[in-house]
Structure formats: structure tokens, C-alpha cells
Amino acid sequence: MNWMPGIIFIVLFVIASFAVDPEQDQDAEVEARTYLEYLNNDMAKRANDVAMAEWEYATHLTNDTLKRKLAVSSEYAKERKKHWLETIKFPWTTFKDPDIKRQFKKYSILGSAVLPEEKRARLEVVVSEMESIYSKQKLCEFGDRKKCNLSLEPELTEIFATSNNSNELKYYWEEWRNSVGRSVRDLFKEYVILSNEVAKLNNFTNNADFWIDDFEEPVEQFEEEIAHLWSQLQPLYKQLHAYVRKKLVAVYGENVISRTGPIPAHLLGNMWAQSWNNIYNLTVPYPGKQSVDVTPQMKQQGYTPMKMFKLSEEFFTSLNLSAMTESFWKKSIIEKPTGQDIICHASAWDFYDGEDFRIKQCTEVNMDELLTVHHEMGHIQYYLQYRHLPLIYREGANSGFHEAVGDVMALSVRTAKHLRKIGLLSDQLEEDPQADINNLFNTGLDKIAFLPFGYIMDLWRWGVFKGTITPENYNCQWWKLRLEFQGLEPPVNRLEKDFDPGCKYHTIADVPYIRYFVSFVIQFQFHRALCIKAGQYDPANPTRQPLHECDIYQSTEAGNLLGQMLRMGSSKPWPLAMEAITGQRKMDAGPLLEYFQPLQKWLEEDNAKTGELIGWKASDKHCVPTEEDLEKVFEKEKEQEEGSQADVTTTANPEVQ
């Protein structure tokens, strides 16, 4: 989590008197540098206060901690506004020193503190209330509606990961959305209004443009770039979708899932169908082969959350990167506490004093959580590497970079090669091409399946902030995107009083999501560059050491290259940080496609053998404004069905005219 504004831009007036005399101009820059030193130090102390109050609230969801959080945040906003008024007095747009100019540019956006205090406080309350509803929600059991103590984490997450009962999954899918989505819908509408007001007061057209400014590109250019990346990745996704659908038809039958239609969203092993790796056992290409899901081995070997975190730390130190600080181990929460409400969503925290970094995670012992541990510790590693920078630069080159770092480590951790090294797979088994496809497929259920979800989460919110998606069609536009991009349908018909996008944490917590899509693209660019540096991949001979088998563990050469980029923070535009590690400045889908090329070839051949439809037909599930509209749809369908039956009867009995 970051409490300072992201990468920012605003055109401000220039005070002409500063620009006339070169000596005066130079004096202004000297004064500006002194001012920035004071500003960064002061804001770091205040950001620490805010982070402390936020941590207390996130780990103890009580009215008292909420009041404390709101009070500290209010004080921070007042001081931030005071500093902002001083900042904009400087003629920073005329400065010659690019570093001073960049810091002023980033400080010249005020963020939510630009609102009148009453509205700013209300915005924070609205988001906090939505987070509280989401985090405290408990559902009744499928088999016993009198027992109502199931939380999202770990109980519901575990049910979606392990149950093959489609009725049970449908029940929990619908109950979660009835309980959370409908409860936050009105709050979300208020949040949108206030967020857009923040954006406009910061000289952006809407909050979508404000969010996209993090990437330091014109809005239209960025949107086109993301759309182009998706167009390159979509064929691979559709092959995976067709194969998974075929396998699920074999499990559940065509009365539950159509052989040619969208996949019902409750059958994919995850509450939001964003990652499909939990249905690996139902869809594995070659059953019976050794699996890289080492959850059984972890439990057999007595793994604990602490052991998982220590293992992750050792991965980073093997690359010549930093160990965790002493306070990290003292203050992090890595297991769900008993007897207190907590926001269980895993997160990494920077307290802006150069020593205090923490992770909050309700860790369970399984392979998926092991990868999450590496992801969160990747955030901490980034914090550690750029802690020497002025406060305003202590963030990722862009938000996608921050998400990518830990995932790059996880790409190595999930290889059979690495799991053998750390004793979670037998090193006596020979390499097997079929087991290799299984492993790559398992990775694809996570990485490929996520891509359209990572895109539409913000494609939907961009539309909301821009006003092209309105409260009158929030939910139906959401399902339109889910069908178009993911090929998914709801297990039951949906109404506009439902608010399914609000059942995802990031939607209600004011967290932009396109960073994850960007991360899933650029992490493969990073991985490829690091593997080349480690001597484990040769682009001229990709079959000798395939990219998906690379493990950079213990390569100080790779670690030094990564560390060089991490230490830049946001002191330079992200294309320069990209260049530092990959040698080029663009986001590129090529390395991801290169990584999955053997799987794509296998999927294309297997789908062709069974004549699968690559893509999906329209859904027979509906999203309409009201129950009355749904009744009209049913009546129309009934009339059409009766008409079709009449046509069949006439054809079968030609004498009946």
C-alpha cells in the first residue's frame, strides 16, 4: 500500500518574475532543493502516522480504530494541503534540474486532500464502510442454514478451492453477492461521485484519467496499448478456455455447462473466477503424473506460515537482495488472529521510516499461498531497495512494476527444478514431457486465465468514472464485459439491484486494478531478462533450456540486475526502469507468449482433436433491471419455445394445414 500520490501531472501557472533573471532562477532552484528536503522528511513522518493508524484499523476492525484512522487521516490531509499551497508557489516548470522538476511535478497533485474537509472525510468513511462490510461478512452453511460463521478467508476460499458440488458452489457464489454486493451498492455510487470530484479538482477530466496518469502516458494512448496487448493474448486465452470447458463438461455434464457456451463462473475454483488453478485436478492434461502442486508435501513436512515466509526470504537473499528487517518479523501478521475482525486480504506495508515494513496475511499452508507469500515479500523487497530515496520516489516505477516483482520470483518457485532443490519434489524422478505440460498448464490456469479479468476490472470502472456506465446498468454492463472478454456467465440470472463487481475487494477499497494486468505482462519480460542474465535461457536456442523451466534461485547476476531496477523507485519514468532490466522501453506480450508457446501448441492440437469451438456462443443467463423484466424475458422465451414446437409439429405432419 502506498500513501503518497502516484505518478502525477498538472499544468500550473508560471510566476513570470522568477523566469526573467537567470541568477534569480538559479536561486529559486537552490531554495527549491532545500524545500524538497524538508518536505520529504516531514511528509515521511506524517505518512508513518497514517500507516500506523491504517494498520491498527485493518488488523482490529472496531469503531475506535476507525475513529483514530479517520482523525489521523484528516490531520494528514490538512498538512498535505498546507504543503501543496507552498509547493505551487515555486516556478517548478521552469527549473533546469530534472530531478527537482520531477519531484515538484509529483508533489503538485494534492489527491483527495483537495476536497473540502467534510467531503474528504466522507470519502474516507464511505470506503472504510465498504471495506468493513466486505471483511466482516459471514455466510450460513450450505448444509445447515442455522450455522452462520463462514468468512471469505479461509472458509469460503477453501470451499471454492476444493468442492466439486455445483449446487453448493452456486449457493455460496450467490449468497456472497447477495450479502456483500447489494450492501455496498449505494455506498459505491457515492464513492464514484466523490472520486470524480477529487479528479476534477486535480485538473483531470474524471477519476479514470487520474488513475491512468500513474503510467505517465496520454490516456487514449495507454488505453490503446492495453487493448493491443489483450488482442495479442486473447487467442491463447481462448484455447485455454475451450480446453477447460471441455474438461468441466466431463465433470458436471451438459445440464450444468454448455459444450459451446460460456463457462458458469462458480465452477472455476475461485470466488471471482480470476484464477483457475484450483480446478487443476479436474482438468489436468495427463492425470497420474507427478504434480507441482506440492500442498500435500508441504503439510507432510510440517510447513507452517513462518516456514513459508522464511523460505521466501531465503530466495531473495540467494539473489544478493536484502533480508527482512528485524521489525518485519516482530510486527507482521502472517496468520489469522482468533477473536478479532481483520481485513484478511494479503497486503504489504511500508511505514516510511526505512525500517518498519510488514505483511498482513491470513496464511494457509498450501502451494497457492506459498506463491502469494513470495508476491507480498516482493513488495517488501521493493520497499527495502528504494528506502534511500526521497519519500516522493518511494514507489514502483509504475504500480504494475510493484505487483510484478514478487511474481517474478514465483515463476521460478513453481518450477519442478526449484521444488526439487528445496525438497518438495523428489529429485529421483526423471524429467517427463507430459509432466512438463501439466506444470505449464497449471501455471496457465493462474497466469493466462487471469488476463481478461485483470483487464475488465478497470475497463468497467473506467466506464463508471467516465459516465458511460451508469448506476442504472452497473451490473448488466459488468456481465456484458465478463461474457465478451472472459467467456463466463453467472450461474443464476442477475438483476440491477445486484452489484457483483462490488463483491471484489479492490472495487470497494479504491484500489486500481489495471496494475495487475500490466504486471502479468511485464513479469514475463523481467523473467526472460533475468533468465538470460542467469545463463538459464538462450533466445537463439529456446528449446535447449525452455523459458518456463528457468529458475533464477541463487543467481547473484540476476539479482544484481533486478536490484539495479528496484533501487530506482519512481525517480525516473517507468520506460527507463524497464530499459534498465530488459534493454527496451515498451510493454511487450511477446515474452509471455514465448513462455507458454509449448502449452499453446499442445492446446491447439488437443482442441482440434475433439473439435472444440474456440470461443463461446451467447449465454442463456440474463441480466435485466428488475424482476418484472425477468418475467417478461421468461414469457418471451416460452412463446418462442412454443412457436418452435409448433413448427416441428407442422413439419412432421404435412397433412395438418
Residue 506 bears catalytic tag: yes
pLDDT of residue 653: 45
Of 96, 164, 184, 147, the C-alpha closest to 504 is 184
Q: Is 527 helix (H, G, I), strand (E, B) or coil?
A: helix
Active-site residue, from 506, 557, 579, 604: 506
pLDDT of residue 7: 35
Q: Say what the pLDDT of residue 13 is.
A: 32
Q: Which helix (H) or strand (E) holds 488?
A: strand 488-489
User: What span, in angstroms and rounded, lies between the C-alpha atoms of 20 and 27?
Assistant: 12
Instruction: Identify the H or E element spanning 212.
Output: helix 207-212
CA–CA distance, 66 with 45 (Å, rounded to integer):
20
User: DSSP assignment, residue 612?
Assistant: -
Contacts of 566 (CB under 8 A, 6+ apart): 381, 382, 385, 386, 405
Read off the C-alpha cell for 657. Answer: 394445414
Task: Write 254-262 long-range contacts (CB < 8 A, 24+).
Answer: 256/166, 258/617, 258/620, 259/613, 260/613, 260/616, 260/617, 261/489, 261/616, 261/617, 261/618, 261/619, 261/620, 262/483, 262/486, 262/487, 262/488, 262/489, 262/616, 262/617, 262/619
pLDDT score at 26: 76
The bridge status of strand 263-264 relative to strand 357-360 is unpaired
Taking Cα atoms as reference points, which of 356, 305, 363, 361 lies closest to residue 331?
A: 356
Distances (CA, A) of 381 to 78, 172, 323, 412: 31, 37, 8, 16
Residue in the structure block whose three cell numbers are 525452455? 546
Establish whether 622 is an annotated binding residue: no
515 annotated as a binding-site residue = yes
Is-contact 7 570, C-beta < 8 A? yes
Half-sphere exposure (CA, 13 Å, Cβ side) for 426? Answer: 8
Are 282 and 247 in contact by the 8 Å Cβ rule? The answer is yes
pLDDT on residue 441: 97
Tell me the three state secondary structure of residue 135.
helix
User: Catalytic pick from 124, 376, 496, 594?
Assistant: 376
The reported pTM is 0.90
Residue 431's Cβ-side half-sphere holds a number of Cα atoms within 13 Å equal to: 8
Tell me the C-alpha to C-alpha distance, in Å, between residue 421 and each of 52, 312, 417, 537: 39, 14, 6, 19
For 362, the 3-state DSSP assignment is coil
- What is residue 258's DSSP assignment? -
**Please, are residues 617 and 260 in contact by the beta-carbon 8 Å criterion?**
yes
pLDDT of residue 637: 81
Q: How far apart are CA 624 and CA 635, in angstroms?
A: 14
Known binding residue 379? Answer is yes
Contact predicate 391/366, CB 8 Å: no
CA distance 234 to 226: 12
Active site residue 266: no
Residues paired with residue 623 on neighbouring β-strands, in sequence order: 494
Place of cell 530488459: 582
548 annotated as belonging to a binding site for a ligand: no
Compute the residue count for the chain.
657
User: CA-CA distances (angstroms) from residue 279 to 55, 276, 412?
Assistant: 34, 6, 22
Report the alpha-carbon distance of residue 54 to residue 59 in Å, rounded: 9
Residues of the chain where predicted confidence (pLDDT) is lower than 70: 1-25, 428-430, 643-657
**What helix, strand, coil percent values describe the chain, rounded to 5?**
65, 5, 35
Taken in order 257, 261, 267, 269, is the CA torsion positive or negative? positive
- The whole-number pLDDT of residue 20 equals 43
Give the whole-angstrom CA distance, residue 578 versus residue 529: 10
Q: Residue 347 is inside which H or E element, if any?
A: strand 347-350
HEC per residue, 309-346: HHHHHHHHHHCCCCCCCHHHHHHCECCCCCCCCCCCCC
Tell me the C-alpha distance between 406 and 391, whole Å. Answer: 22
Cβ distance 578 to 337 under 8 Å? no
- So what's the pLDDT on residue 9? 34
3-state secondary structure of 150: strand
Query: Is the peptide bond prior to 471 cis by the omega test (within 30 degrees of 0)?
Result: no
Would you tell me the crossing angle of helices 433-466 and 514-533 to the nearest 10 degrees? 140
Strand-pairing partners, residue 495, are: 624
Contacts for 657 with CB less than 8 Å, ≥ 6 apart:
none
Q: What is the pLDDT of residues 404-414, one digit of tens each?
A: 999 999 999 99
For residue 291, the model assigns a pLDDT of 82
d(CA 637, CA 639): 5
